[in-house]
Amino acid sequence: MARTVDPGSKAEECGLRADARRNRRQILAAAREVFAEHGIDAPMATVARRAGVGVATLYRRFPTRDDLVRAAFAHQMETCARALTEAVDNPDPWLGFQRLVETVCALQSEERGFPAAFVTAFPDAANDHAPVRARAEQEFATLVRRAQAAGALRPDFHPSDLAVVLLANGGLLAARPGDRAASRRLVAYLLEAFRARPTRGVLPPPSAARLDSLPLASDTARPT
């Protein structure tokens, strides 16, 4: 995964020495990679090794895992929150729902570790993020009800189905990292399935994936 610099981190870097800024950026980039590969419970020492810094340096910049996760995915968190606000405010609830799902899945294509961070990184109710997450869940549930009341979203869709979408998209991206064309096509299929009245619209173009190139489970059982 290509290392990216979080644009939301620039304000926090003001006043830091050049070497401290460099260390911070390396740590955040390494954290995004490690969390995507091994989950957000990966050892902090693994992040430090990937960043090329000492564990003490990592903890000096980010005293807790929550601090590191929040900083690593700050840009994605802000984008997701903005997309949810725009979806709820959209006078067309289906269009708001569609754009929200597309945005969250595009974020997952950008940083595969983000969904796990957003959903499970902050289980402590005392954490500042818990009320934000609870409010986001309530707003998404409201959006779902509005789209269903408008006759656009199938009545048996449940807000938890968004987690299923992320799991499916995450599995695809794990098998084919960076294949955003395949991700967009999968999301389009799922959105069509969620409609109360399918449109039979044109899907995004297919990716270059082939069945004979997929890492199927049976392949791992073959003797070497």
Same domain, 151 and 196: yes
Same domain, 33 and 93: no
Amino acid at 2: A
Query: What is the pTM assigned to this prediction?
Result: 0.71
Is residue 90 one of the residues assigned to a domain?
yes
Q: How many domains does the chain have?
A: 2
Q: Which two tokens stand for residue 53?
A: 């810094």
Look up tokens 């959105």; give the residue: 191
Q: Which domain holds residue 80?
A: 74-202
User: pLDDT grade, residue 186 (50/70/90)?
Assistant: very high
Is residue 109 one of the residues assigned to a domain?
yes
Q: What is the pLDDT, as a whole number, of residue 76?
A: 82
Q: Which of 51-55, 60-64, 208-212, 215-219 has the lowest mean pLDDT?
A: 215-219
The more confident residue out of 122 and 31 is: 31
- The answer on pLDDT for 89 being more than 90 is yes
Is residue 211 one of the residues assigned to a domain?
no
Same domain, 192 and 82: yes
Same domain, 26 and 64: yes
Same domain, 130 and 30: no
Q: How far apart are CA 155 and CA 171, in angstroms?
A: 26
Is residue 155 one of the residues assigned to a domain?
yes
Same domain, 65 and 162: no
Q: Which of 121-135, 148-162, 165-179 has the lowest mean pLDDT?
A: 121-135
Nearest to 52 by CA among 73, 23, 21, 17: 23
Amino acid at 220: T
Whole-number percent of the chain with pLDDT over 90? 43
Same domain, 50 and 85: no
